[in-house]
Amino acid sequence: MEFQIAATLGRSTLNRVQILGRSGIFLLSSIYLAFFRPFRIYRLIKEIEFIGSKSFLIVFVTALFTGMVIGIQGYYSLSQFGAEAALGVMVALSIIRELGPVLCALMVTGRAGSAITAEIGIMKITDQFPALEMMAIDPMKYVISPKVIAGIICLPLLTAFFDLVGIGGGYLVGVKLLGVNEGAYIGKMITAVTFTDIYGGILKSLSFGVLITWISSFMGFAAEATTEGVSKATTNAVVITSLSILIVDYILTSLLL
């Protein structure tokens, strides 16, 4: 009995380690292959359009309301100490350091990550990968690489956009609605936000860009070749990506501070 439990445990551990290894090789080879001819610029632009420009609206709305909420919450907390003037600093730092990269990544995961897994899974069950192979085209390079590279390019840009809109949302509520001094909001923000804050945010968004495209592509690629397999993989991809984003966020924050 004990022996059996140990054997099952060992087998499942080995399986998991193997999947982890495979996914690592998957990521590295997709990035590596992007550096060789032919460069698929058109495919890359298509993916940037899908992951990046089509996420603009959702990122805009998320950022605006996040900024506005922090504006209200911050105002009431700070006014208890008579420190409303520091509202700009509070909004800017919380968005640039944490909320911008994380919320932006979570929104992109829900919108683009799930679609990536579904698309790749469907390509798999309809034999499109061997079809590419038979046409002498590397599916890794043709399908996966552009997605991963597009993720690396898009996420920092979307995050920068999120930061801008979020700070604007805080400004709207804080200055226009609640009457915080405009000069204090912007002036204090400019002196308090350092390059390290911005650099940390960008670094996070870069890693989230890799995480999102990597996990969603791999889940689609490794999905069981049935319709249930693909739908399961899509759900799993969103859950695993979201959790990984939060965990990696903690690790990066503790390293950066």
Partner 1 sequence: MIKVENIVKRYGRVTASNHLNCHFERGKVTVILGGSGSGKSTLLRQLTGLEKPDSGAVYFDGVDLTTLNKTKLYEARKKMGMLFQGSALFNYLNIFENIAFPLREHTQIADNIIKTIVTMKLEMVGLRGTEDLMPSQLSGGMMKRVGLARAMVMDPKVIFYDEPTSGLDPISTGVIGKLIMDLNKTLNITSIVVSHDIESCFKIADNIIILFYGDIIAMGTSEEIRNSSDLRVKQFINGEPEGPIPFQRTDKNYLDEILFD
Among 1, 5, 134, 255, binds partner 1 (CB under 8 A): 134
Instruction: In angstroms, give the least distance from the CB of 56 to partner 1.
Output: 22
Residue 122 as a binder of partner 1 (CB under 8 A): the answer is yes
Instruction: In angstroms, give the least distance from the CB of 137 to partner 1.
Output: 6
Give the range of 83-91, 128-136, 178-186, 224-232 binding partner 1 by CB under 8 A. 128-136
Residue 77 CA to residue 233 CA, distance in Å, equals 43
b/e for 83-99, b at 16 or more Cβ within 10 A?
ebebbbbbbbbbbbbeb
* Spatial contact of 160 and 101, defined as CB atoms under 8 Å apart: no
Alpha helices in 193-226 (DSSP H): 195-222
| Total residues interacting with partner 1, rule: CB under 8 A | 12
Instruction: In angstroms, give the least distance from the CB of 135 to partner 1.
Output: 5
DSSP states of 128-161: HHHHHHHTT--HIIIIIHHHHHHHHHHHHHHHHH
Residue 110 CA to residue 68 CA, distance in Å, equals 22
- If the CB atoms of residues 32 and 65 are measured against partner 1, the closer one turns out to be 32
Per-residue contact track with partner 1, 135 to 174, x per CB under 8 A?
xxxx------------------------------------
Residues in CB range of 11: below 8 A, 6 or more apart: none
Residues in CB range of 238: below 8 A, 6 or more apart: 109, 110, 113, 114, 117
Among 133, 227, 235, 247, binds partner 1 (CB under 8 A): 133
Per-residue contact track with partner 1, 91 to 120, x per CB under 8 A?
------------------------------
Residue 197 CA to residue 195 CA, distance in Å, equals 5
- If the CB atoms of residues 137 and 172 are measured against partner 1, the closer one turns out to be 137
Residue 131 as a binder of partner 1 (CB under 8 A): the answer is yes
Among 10, 21, 24, 130, binds partner 1 (CB under 8 A): 130
Among 79, 126, 194, 235, binds partner 1 (CB under 8 A): 126
DSSP states of 25-94: HHHHHHHHHTTSSSP-HHHHHHHHHHHTGGGHHHHHHHHHHHHHHHHHHHHHHHHTTT-GGGHHHHHHHH
Residues in CB range of 134: below 8 A, 6 or more apart: none
- If the CB atoms of residues 96 and 230 are measured against partner 1, the closer one turns out to be 230
Among 49, 127, 182, 224, binds partner 1 (CB under 8 A): 127
- If the CB atoms of residues 122 and 160 are measured against partner 1, the closer one turns out to be 122
Give the range of 18-26, 125-133, 162-170, 211-219 binding partner 1 by CB under 8 A. 125-133
User: Which residues here bind partner 1, judged by CB under 8 A?
Assistant: 122, 126-128, 130-131, 133-138
